[in-house]
Chains A and B, each alone.
Chain A
Amino acid sequence: MIPLLLLSPLILLAALGAVWKARPVHAALLLALTLALVAALYLTIGAEFIGLVQFMVYVGGVAILIVFALLITRPGDEAAELARRPRSLAMGLACVTPVLGLLLYAFSKGLPAGTALETNPALPVQALGQELFENSVPAVLAVGVLLTAVLIGAALFARETGDPSEPPASR
């Protein structure tokens, strides 16, 4: 309970900073911080595998990709971004309020009667792997094929479409 109380305000602050900062790089770094803190939250509640994978995939993969995209594209105009701020704020609130309301409603209802609460559902990672790669193998394979197709499609889109008679830029 104490880690939750300590981490949640930090996560909220970092997430707010990520949407509030006008400089894209600051926003991206704060997003990375948010994701890392969520990973820390997972670690404190005993879900070590999901915490470490969250760290690897989101901090090491997604945040780095965002940062890299920022580096190779032209930065936006900060003043224009700040001028758009009231409208963005209104739209953001309009999106967030229903979701938050729904969540609060769900929490206020509490769990359905008769739900057994497991105090420490420690799942060994081996059981997790067996569940994933023995019992739900078709789903995993389907996702794998889908992702491969996406990857090939992205490579096709990103292919250089210059004059094919020209030699490649570097040998």
Chain B
Amino acid sequence: MRVPALIGLLMGALPAAESAAIPQPPLLTAEALPLLPQHLVELTLQAIKAPEWLISLGSLAAAAGTVVAVFSSGFALLSLIERKTLARMQNRIGPNRAGIFGILQPVADGIKLLTKEDIVPSKAEWFLHLLAPVLIVIPSILALGVIPYGREWNPLPLELGLVFFFATGTMTEVAVFIAGWASGSKFPMLGAMRAISQMVSYELPLIISALSVVMLSGTLSLSGIVEHQAGYHLGFLPKWNILTPWGLVAGIVFAIAANAESNRCPFDLPEGESEIVAGHMTEYSGFKYALFFMGEYLGLFAISGLGITLFLGGWQAPLPGLDCVPSWLWFFGKLAVVIFVFLWVRATFPRVRIDQLMRFAWLCLIPIALLTLPVAALWSFTGQGALSWLLCSAVLAVPFIIISIIFNRRMAPTIRRYHYAE
């Protein structure tokens, strides 16, 4: 079908769509802008009298395509922004050759990675070796699908959105193991072992800290959780979960565990460059390596988006008067801030040791995350006022101080003697 004919069909279809019973946001408002591809596909299919299942399938495909397109370009942009930001923080210039300010660097990187030779080691199992990068990318994209990006922009509105998110997250562990094992080499194997033990350990605080939010919202649907955070205290303070005592603690635990789950510095032991080359990605090159990178960044987007949804009010505006700005702009603004904090942490902290990593998860994060559950209940029962604030903070602060004192006594840095250096 030629383009002018298509436009004519669309124009003809517009009044019919408006009279349809399904409540739809009006086209071409700023709020519904990201939904445009979905509407266009729906209207086109309705215009050519497509069967019902084809319309819903096409609409879903358009919604998924929008998410993939947005976050793939976000991935390209982030790979540049990350290098520039890190360079700025380390007093370097960063990529500055391709285009103005290195703005074409992602394109150059992409061309380089796509044209590189794809090497499969002779000891590798070629099928599993091929399967691993695919299995890394798929769960990240699936997880991105359930996050509500705006008031209307909710690609996959599941009742069990949170469970779905964590279920996709477990697929990453299997994929990392397959990558490490199928490469048939020692560094990937070591990296995979580190990655699995780290992911299994940090999944617990991640899920437990999310549970307290579920407890108070009374729903597992992510858009339900966002709607529960609507409104303002005293007319200006948003009712986000991060602004409650248990939410603050759970949010910090969630952020640390999310950092570890996405294998980023200071928890990047699975791919510690100075120790085990690149961990499970050592034997990969070219396009497959690019897929690993893409999976990692999409995973970072997804888990940041989940953190925003759970604790930072999702797409809600931070002040009452600012509701006129499209809600998805608020979401992406918050996403940019959260990602910047992740970059900042990466540039600031040195990599931890594996025993410190494990001890931190099991002795520090999990007890504090568990503590947020009864405190969230206390918050709910004591009326969520100023007094409740003080009480909950006290209940949270006392064990925290005790744990800190124990950690300081028993695990403070001591003077080390290196015998080989004497």
Contacts and interface: CB of A to CB of B under 8 A. Distances in A.
Interface of A: 25, 29, 32, 48-49, 52-53, 55-56, 59-61, 63-64, 67-68, 71-72, 124-126, 170-171
A55 B170 contact: yes
B177 A56 contact: no
Contact of A71 (B174, B193, B203, B355): B193
Contact of A64 (B173, B218, B220, B355): B173
Given A49-B160, A59-B171, A67-B196, 15 more contacts: A29-B128, A32-B174, A48-B158, A52-B167, A55-B167, A60-B173, A60-B174, A63-B174, A64-B196, A71-B189, A71-B192, A72-B193, A124-B159, A126-B218, A171-B414
A49 to B, nearest CB: 6
Nearest to A25: B181
Given A64-B200, A171-B411, A171-B414, A53 B173 contact: no
Interface string B96-134: 000000000000000000000000000000001000000
Nearest to B131: A29
B389 interface: no
A140 to B, nearest CB: 15
Nearest to B173: A64
Contacts of B164: 52
Interface string B159-177: 1100110110111011001
14 contacts: A48-B159, A55-B167, A56-B163, A56-B166, A56-B167, A59-B174, A60-B203, A63-B174, A64-B174, A67-B174, A68-B196, A68-B200, A71-B192, A125-B220
Contacts of B181: 25
A80 B167 CA distance: 37
A125 B170 contact: no
A64 B177 CA distance: 9
B178 interface: yes
Contacts of A68: 193, 196-197, 200
B372 to A, nearest CB: 18
B174 A48 contact: no
Interface in B193-220: 193, 196-197, 200, 203, 218-220
Interface residues of B, number: 30
Nearest to A53: B163
A63 B193 CA distance: 14
Contact of B355 (A60, A67, A170): A170
Contacts of B193: 68, 71-72
B196 A60 contact: no
Contacts of A56: 163, 166-167, 170
Nearest to B164: A52
Contacts of A53: 163, 167
Given A25-B181, A52-B167, A125 B355 contact: no
Contacts of A32: 174
A125 B214 CA distance: 13
Contacts of B171: 59-60
Q: What are the 9 closest A-B residue pairs judged by CB atoms, nearest first?
A: A60-B170, A55-B167, A52-B163, A52-B167, A170-B355, A56-B167, A64-B173, A67-B177, A56-B170
Interface string B349-361: 0000101000000
Interface in B207-261: 218-220
Nearest to B172: A60
A124 B219 CA distance: 11
Contacts of A55: 167, 170
Q: Which of B128, B173, B174, B220 has the most CB of A within 10 A?
A: B174
Contacts of B203: 60
Q: Which of B163, B169, B203 has the most CB of A within 10 A?
A: B163
A125 B162 CA distance: 12
B414 A52 contact: no
Nearest to B416: A171
Contacts of B128: 29
Contact of B167 (A60, A63, A72): A60
B179 to A, nearest CB: 12
A56 to B, nearest CB: 5
Contacts of A63: 174
Contacts of B163: 49, 52-53, 56
A125 B167 CA distance: 16
A145 B173 CA distance: 29
Contacts of A25: 181
Contacts of B169: 60
B159 A125 contact: yes
Contacts of B158: 48
B217 to A, nearest CB: 12
Nearest to B359: A170
B75 to A, nearest CB: 25
A55 B158 CA distance: 16
Nearest to B177: A67
Contact of B178 (A29, A48, A49): A29
Nearest to A29: B178
Contacts of B197: 68
Nearest to B410: A171
Contacts of A71: 189, 192-193
Contacts of B355: 170
